[in-house]
Amino acid sequence: MADKNQEIGGIHFPFPFTPYSIQKDFMTVLYQVLEDGKIGIFESPTGTGKSLSLICGALSWLRDFEEKKRQEEAHLLKTGTAPSNDGKDQPPCISSSCQETPDTLGPTGEPDWVTQFVQKKEERDLVDRLKKEQIRRKKREERLQQLRHNTQLKYAAKRERQEEEETERLLRLSRDILAAGTEAEPLEQLASGEEELVLSEYESDEEKGAPNGLDEDEDDLEEEHVTKIYYCSRTHSQLAQFVHEVQKSPFGKDTRLVSLGSRQNLCINQDVKNLGSVQLINDRCMELQRSRHESKSRAEDQEPKRRRQAPQAACPFYSHRHLQLLQDQVLLEVKDIEQLVALGKEAGACPYYGSRFAIPAAQVVVLPYQMLLHTATRQAAGIRLQGQVVIIDEAHNLIDTITGIHSTEVSGSQLCQAHSQLLQYMERYRKRLKAKNLMYIKQILYLLEKFVTVLGGNIKQNPNTQSLSQTGTELKTINDFLFQSQIDNINLFKVRRYCEKSMVSRKLFGFTERYGAVLAPPREQPRLTGFQHFLQSLQPGVIEAPTAPMEEGEARVPRPASPLMHIEGFLEALTTANQDGRVMLSRQGSLSQSSLKFLLLNPAVPFAQVVKECRAVVIAGGTMQPVSDFREQLLTCAGVEAERLVEFSCGHVIPPDHILPLVLCSGPSNQQLEFTYLKRELPQMMDETGRILCNLCNVVPGGVICFFPSYEYQRQVHAHWDKSGLLARLAVRKKIFQEPKRANQVEQVLTEYSRCIQCHGQAGGMVNGALLLSVVGGKMSEGINFSDDLGRCVVMVGLPYPNIKSPELQEKMAYLDHTLPRTPGQAPPGKALVENLCMKAVNQSIGRAIRHQKDFASIVLLDQRYARPPILAKLPAWIRDRVEVKATFGPAFAALRKFHHEKSGLS
């Protein structure tokens, strides 16, 4: 349909069709939140066009914001002064109130002529900056315009890259010929390429950070960051879906959008991608970049050296010219991750770096929210949040995500392996390391040894065969753990800074990559693998020096990255404030199976930086209930004042009679339904559940999805039904599918489930659709679209309360009881947390069915506890307002039969 320009409250919202009234409300509130710089929590059920509302509302605001900014810049460049009537967005220190006589004193106590001079200088500096930015913007627009009219440029770039590769090959051949004629290096010299493994001198803790890796000829890739919208979601498929919505929207042609992803998703160097592991891909990429920069210094060296092995080539897809071309093409048209990879292959340029170089000029940056919420990852990607807008979609599990990102676990095996590798590294390069490097390495070795000791192990013995006398789980405050480990005298902030700036873990990775295998004498014994070498080195009293590096042409077996990289995350976590985290000591049968785990109790700490830096933050989702978690645990604790917080929730677009939510308190044989831990495993409870499903399958057409609290309970019920014959009775009406535990099998099950439902009308006989036994919190409770006949009825078996005996959950409950105020008449914060976790899972599961305006479905909640007001209050409003509580099964079954009989003509 033709685009329709909607004017709502004086604001023009381009929209591809006439929006629903709730979409108009959504866009209006969203626009105002962005304009006023507030924090918004938006709930819009699936099927109500939430993504399109976000796109059109946010980009309409950005369009108006950019236009106002252009007008202000034009006025400033023309007059040299900022508009005096500008409010929130007026540049600092620029005003028109400096017209008093020079003899008076200003508010700062300085004479007015001094204040006026400073203001005029700041205005001149601002004008100069704006002029430079205009020149950059004009160059970018000219490049994009040229690309629009000349598609042959990318083919020219490809030919140029091939010519560069040929030139580089000839130069390398010449250098090798020259090197062959030189005399061998003295024995005490390091092998070729080994110099890069030795740590540089660490001068001080306050030294500046390492260079960012850009060449001088790449400086012009960096531009001023324009005001932009960072759109985050949970998975790459959700991000791709959002990008496709942007492409189809009225903004699809003119928006500069960049999709970010990991190297694993974006790498086009097949040799690197074949490594498989995310960490290995990251490390190999960094090694190739380092090789590239070091190759320049080697090329300038007039005295070529004899090489024991061929130098490692730089990545052929990383060059300034090709990245510049890719950056421009990324900004030219809206592309998702797959299209970006295809474009990178065509242009012969790295999509990972090309997309990052396009960030400053982009208007919309699309990325997984793990990338935005973790500070180090965010900084590494070149994301700057100051004054920007962040939209976090699918944010129902935002708190859990933040907690998970900042919680880390290290095993006893990793600790021992890191200690062995680092000790061998120190022994190899002891004479070449400066005093401060040796001091910090010894501190890290000491920390690793103490971590193993606190678990009850010995650093010098094999962790796999080392059994522990004490087993069980123990929770400690950070300070108590530091004292118990006897490391409270070490400044972990300095150690963390050293690890970051010296890049010791990457040096160690290169070292283990080079010397990870022991070369046995010819024909005497087989070569040991890196892991076998590690095990051998752990024997008491055995510290074996590394042997010679592999010769050219020998196969390298990819091995896991240095565990020290993982341990650095744990060291960083230990610098968290004592009250905001806990350390869990998990002692199992052997040291290798035991672990140290850091638990973040206060997710508001890392989120506070996002809230503080951003102009506005929008937290959106189809089901955000209960909202109290976001308000209390995240935003209030992050310092968000009540007046800055805006909540928006809308109903569904389906007619009221298209949904039938029922709370069922008893089954066909009058068995009371209460699936507590004590009662749910009783045979009569499992039998009653089966009888209810048999009755439902007789009246519900198409697909029925039944959610169980856990995989274990689902298997237990399935086995009981099989033994009692209920499974056979169910199979007469519906073909039965079970949700697999392995993620790689989910697609196959869903395909067969869909095919069965689509073909049931053609097959004849008694079978009418399919029954899918699923798990709350499993693969099919989020992100799966059971629209129309795929999900005509959703059944919830019991309330999926989390394991109350979990040490992590108990600690979190105690933390909330201690830190959050208790509201009179309400449950304690800890108990409310348990209920909220349960109901968030329920809301996500029952939201799988209704997916668009003409869809219809019934929702059956099997447990009398759903009838309690505190539980009902946590259901989404559009479901809660229509819930019917049925004390007995007869009236419930009659209502279901009538509902599906009336609606069957709509399908």
pLDDT of 537: 42
Q: How far is Cα 408 from Cα 402, in angstroms, rounded to an integer?
A: 12
pLDDT of 237: 82
Domains 408-515+562-603 and 659-905 share a fold: no
Q: Is the pLDDT of residue 449 over 80?
A: yes
Q: How many other C-beta atoms lie within 10 A of the C-beta of residue 174?
A: 11
Q: Which element (helix H / strand E) includes 70?
A: helix 50-79
pLDDT of 235: 81
The larger pLDDT score, comparing residue 646 to residue 211, is at 646
pLDDT digits (tens, 9 = 90+) for 97-112: 333 434 455 555 566 6
Residue 663 CA neighbour count, 13 Å, CB half: 21
Q: How far is Cα 115 from Cα 126, in angstroms, rounded to an integer?
A: 16
pLDDT of 717: 94
| Distance, CA of 371 to chain centre | 5
Confidence of residue 366 (pLDDT cuts 50, 70, 90): very high
Confidence of residue 617 (pLDDT cuts 50, 70, 90): very high
Q: How many other C-beta atoms lie within 10 A of the C-beta of residue 149?
A: 7
pTM of structure: 0.79
Q: Is the pLDDT of residue 841 over 70?
A: yes
What number is the average pLDDT over the span 349-361? 89
Q: Is the pLDDT of residue 95 over 50?
A: no
pLDDT of 800: 92
How far apart are the two ends of the chain, measured CA to CA in Å?
25
Q: How far is Cα 739 from Cα 749, in angstroms, rounded to an integer?
A: 7
Q: Is the pLDDT of residue 383 over 60?
A: yes
- To the nearest whole number, what is the mean pLDDT of the chain? 78
| Residue 516 to residues 506, 561, 562, 595, 819, Cα–Cα distance (Å) | 14, 11, 11, 25, 49
**Token pair listed for 594:** 């035991």
pLDDT of 203: 58
Q: Is the pLDDT of residue 539 over 60?
A: no
The CA-CA-CA angle for residues 469, 475, 480, to 5°, reads: 95
With a CB cutoff of 8 Å and minimum separation 6, the contacts of 122 are: 93, 94
pLDDT of 889: 92
Alpha carbon dihedral 43, 45, 49, 53, in 10-degree steps, equals: 0
What fold is seen in the domain 408-515+562-603? Answer: Fumarase C; Chain B, domain 1 (1.10.275)
Return the closest-CA partner of residue 496 out of 422, 566, 572: 572
pLDDT digits (tens, 9 = 90+) for 485-529: 999 888 999 998 888 888 888 888 878 877 763 322 333 333 344
Q: Is the pLDDT of residue 291 over 90?
A: no
Q: How far is Cα 669 from Cα 889, in angstroms, rounded to an integer?
A: 8
Q: Is the pLDDT of residue 279 over 60?
A: yes
What number is the average pLDDT over the span 800-812? 89
Confidence of residue 868 (pLDDT cuts 50, 70, 90): very high
Confidence of residue 164 (pLDDT cuts 50, 70, 90): low
Q: Per CATH, is 659-905 categorized as 3.20.20.70?
A: no
Q: Is the pLDDT of residue 93 over 60?
A: no
Residue 115: strand, helix, or coil: helix
pLDDT of 94: 35
Confidence of residue 766 (pLDDT cuts 50, 70, 90): low
Query: Any idea which of 231-235, 560-564, 681-685, 706-710 has the lowest mean pLDDT?
Result: 560-564
DSSP conformational letter for 622 = S
pLDDT of 804: 86
Q: Is the peptide bond before 626 cis (omega within 30 degrees of 0)?
A: yes
pLDDT digits (tens, 9 = 90+) for 693-726: 999 998 898 889 999 999 999 999 999 999 999 9
Supply the angle between the helices 711-724 and 683-699 in degrees, to the nearest 10. 80
Q: Which element (helix H / strand E) includes 57?
A: helix 50-79
pLDDT of 517: 34
pLDDT of 171: 59
Q: How far is Cα 481 from Cα 574, in angstroms, rounded to an integer?
A: 9
The larger pLDDT score, comparing residue 434 to residue 896, is at 896
The larger pLDDT score, comparing residue 541 to residue 819, is at 819
With a CB cutoff of 8 Å and minimum separation 6, the contacts of 867 are: 663, 665, 885
Q: Is the pLDDT of residue 209 over 80?
A: no
Burial class for 587, CB neighbours closer than 10 Å (0-12, 13-18, 19+): buried
Q: How far is Cα 512 from Cα 278, in angstroms, rounded to an integer?
A: 18
pLDDT digits (tens, 9 = 90+) for 556-611: 434 455 788 889 889 999 998 888 899 999 988 888 889 999 999 999 988 999 99
Residue spans of the domains in the chain: they are 263-287+316-360, 408-515+562-603, 659-905
What number is the average pLDDT over the span 449-459? 91
What number is the average pLDDT over the span 71-89? 61
Which range of 426-435, 658-667, 775-784 scores highest in mean pLDDT? It is 658-667
Return the closest-CA partner of residue 548 out of 513, 515, 512: 515
Q: Is the pLDDT of residue 314 over 90?
A: no
Strands (E), 16-80: 39-43
Confidence of residue 536 (pLDDT cuts 50, 70, 90): very low
Which range of 152-156, 539-543, 622-626 scores highest in mean pLDDT? It is 622-626
Q: Is the pLDDT of residue 83 over 60?
A: no
